Amino acid sequence: MKNRFVVLAVGIIILLSGCASLAGVFGVASESYVEEQLQSVRDEFQSQISDTQGGVSANRSALSAYADTARQLEELIESIRNTVETTDELKRLADVLEQRFENLPVETIRQLVTILAEYLEGK
């Protein structure tokens, strides 16, 4: 019985001492142990916040790049649209010119070709 009492007393002393090294084993923690654990949680939380902020910054950069690409694509589409309109107009003018050439005498067409050739040589 005496041995039991001694073992129990030693156990109670260890539990009440708040030894940080035994805190996890017996469920008793000292103030310093709690502070260490809180600091560890704070550090981990801060690390996660930093990682998240880095991810947000990377996403913002990617979104900015996508917005620039979208703007460039819109400009390209508009340029293509203008080119198509100009090409269609030139086709219509070519049809009108062809119809007018049909009514011109061959000699007049030859003179026009000569004038155009001289003009182009001067350029």
Q: Is the pTM of this model over 0.75?
A: no
E strand or H helix at 39: helix 31-103
**Residue 27 backbone zone (phi > 0: left; psi -120 to 50: alpha; other: beta):** left
Q: pLDDT tens across 47-83, in order?
A: 999 999 989 999 999 999 999 999 999 999 999 999 9
The residue extents of the domains of the chain are 14-122
Q: pLDDT tens across 22-45, in order?
A: 555 556 667 888 888 899 999 999
Question: 33 and 20 in contact (C-beta within 8 Å)?
Answer: yes
Tell me how far apart the alpha carbons of residues 117 and 37 are, in angstroms, rounded to a whole number.
Answer: 91
